[in-house]
Structure 1
Amino acid sequence: MLPGELAEAPVLLFFPYVGEDKPLKGSALSLLHKRYKEYQNQVIKPFYKRYFAEFDRQIVLVDVLSSLNQGSHAFSDMQLALSEIMKSFSYGSNSILRRIFSPRTDKLLFAATKADHVTPDQHSNLTMLLRHLVQPVWQYVSFENVKMECLPVASIAATDAGYVESKGKAQPAISGTLIGGERITLYPGEVPATLPKADFWQHSGFEFSSFQPKHYVESQALPHIAMDKALQFLLSDKLR
């Protein structure tokens, strides 16, 4: 939590309470309810108005690889978080945005980040997995005339892709410098193309390492993955 200018303000002094008890007037539970309503009206609604009222394009960054790396619970947490976030940004008549103002968003991009941490042959699987994750949103938003796309991206690529020889065959691989400073070449493994089932986590054979950014060479363009495609989807019609 980053309270910023609201640090120690009474509007933030509440906590979740699990239960259906009707609060008594003047009770601590009643105060929690009051603070939460104030939080919605004084913090959340102004936040949406300030930052989203004028947007007509949105991009949602999803760190799919980190959640896969951390296991079943982390992946489930990411699914839940993505679902809850998209409830706020759904485009039906009952959404938070629609109740506050009339949103004008007509393009929505879901981007699977850190695409440079897997070999290029896995980018299609990464895209398909992301599509499965956002499928409920995809089906609904299509009826609201909002164009959607999923892309694997890396704003600054930290690795180089190539091939190594393994058992007499060419094996896709990536090379880069790990966060700890070690230079490494590896095949991180396969990304599942569909939502993993329970037994997947017992036999998964991947490890998505964290890499340092490459050494920046002045006057040269920063290496990236699919940032041009992201900009093409989001802004091409604006630049005609």
Structure 2
Amino acid sequence: LLQGQRAEWAAKWRQLCDGLDPLAPADENRLAEIAAAWTDYLHQCKSQGLHFIQPGRFVLPGDMAGAPALQFFPWPDVDAFGESKLAQADKQTNAGMLRERFNYYCEKVVKGFYKNHFLRFDRQIVLVDCLQPLNSGPQAFNDMRLALTQLMQSFHYGQRTLFRRLFSPVIDKLLFAATKADHVTLDQHANMVALLQQLIQDAWQNAAFEGISMDCLGLASVQATTSGVIEVNGEKIPALRGNRLSDGAPLTVYPGEVPSRLPGQAFWDSQGFQFEAFRPQVMDVDKPLPHIRLDAALEFLIGDKLR
């Protein structure tokens, strides 16, 4: 994972690791310093639009901010010391303390998250923002693919997965939704859904094998734009009207085409679109917020519960 720009952003963390002997007696102050450098690296990845950020609680610590349970990090050069030697290191060494903290994190934080939030769920929706990674370039897009793949492995419904080992899931409906459908023109909604289907193909096949009812759609819980048509060189093309998120300036734009398949290098070389971020429309207090297919999502997920 530490390739390209990631390697640049992780340089300080790597330098600090190079100055630490993992088999020496544990130095909690040094470990805290290096863990802080790893956290800074994760925040940098997040600010640059990347999605595969692990451990996730490092950037969203909540009530665990500053806790020793979040003061660990991966060791960058396992081969130099030997994987078995590091795995068997005394818990009073640097490597041993990192291992103990990692195991605690997995047992109490990760497993606790699954148990506390998913034990009673029988319906699941997975929201995927395909547009922001397309804006940010191939590294961000491929990183999103990796994050999505890892996420869906966590929620795999097979018999030997973490999800199944922790408890007996009863998920019977699963919805994949491509978000920000209001940020592309209507003629691109089908492409958005097709791209999402490509991204989640393996998870889709696995869930289908388990007999879970599934659907895939484009969604905007609050519609921030209105659709229209503009004329360019005598040709009418679809467009969006809205107010830019950053400064509220009114915009009428054609953001461009969403690829219907996983983009290759030719797509990135000829990329000619820019998906603007829009702020919600000003609405009267007595009117409902406009949306795109929120009703369809609710009908699929819980419609049968309300009949």
TM-score (norm 2): 0.76
Query: Aligned to 2:258, which of 186, 191, 195?
Result: 191
Match status 1:54 vs 2:112: no
**Residue equivalent to 1:22:** 85
Q: What SS class does the counterpart of residue 199 from structure 1 fall into? A: helix
Matches within 5 A, 1:73-88: 73-88=139-154
Distance 1:122 1:142 in 2: 26
- CA displacement at 1:21 relative to structure 2: 4.6
Q: Which amino acid aligns with 1:88?
A: S
Distance in 1 (alpha carbons) for counterparts of 2:61 and 2:137:
31
Distance 2:248 2:60 in 1: 31
Q: What displacement does 1:122 show?
A: 0.2
Q: Following the alignment from structure 1 to structure 2, what is the Cα–Cα distance between the partners of residues 4 and 206?
A: 37
Larger radius of gyration: 2
5 Å-filtered alignment, 1:44-193, equals 44-179=110-245, 180-193=247-260
Partners of 2:67 and 2:230 lie apart in 1 by 58
Once residues 108 and 133 of structure 2 are traced to their aligned partners in structure 1, the CA distance between those partners, rounded to angstroms, is 33
Greater relative contact order (Cα < 8 A, sep 6+): 1
State the SS of the aligned residue for 2:85. Answer: coil
**Deviation at 1:161?**
0.3
> Which deviates more, 99-108 or 5-14?
5-14
Gaps of 5+ in 2: 1-58
Structure-1 separation of matches of 2:160 and 2:101: 23
Instruction: Name the count of aligned residue pairs.
Output: 240
Q: Residue type matched to 1:188 in 2?
A: P
The aligned residue for residue 105 of structure 2 is 39
Alpha-carbon separation, structure 2, partners of 1:188 and 1:5: 40
Deviation at 1:236, TM superposition (A): 1.4
Q: Cα RMSD over matched residues?
A: 1.2
The CA deviation at 1:165 is: 2.1
> Which range is displaced more, 13-22 or 202-211?
13-22
**Partners of 1:61 and 1:17 in 2: CA distance:** 32
Q: Does 1:239 align with 2:306?
A: yes
Could you tell me how far apart the structure 2 residues matched to 1:10 and 1:182 are?
46
Report what 2:273 is aligned to: 206
- Aligned partners of 2:164, 2:244: CA distance in 1, in Å? 44
Structure-1 residue corresponding to 2:284: 217
C-alpha displacement of 1:148: 1.7
Offset at 1:6? Answer: 2.3
1:16 to partner: Cα distance: 1.5
Q: Which has the higher helix share?
A: 2
> More displaced, 208-217 or 120-129?
208-217
Question: Does 179-188 or 117-126 show the bigger shift?
Answer: 179-188
Question: 1:222: Cα distance to partner?
Answer: 0.7
CA distance in 1 between partners of 2:85 and 2:266 (Å): 43
1:93 aligned counterpart, secondary structure: coil
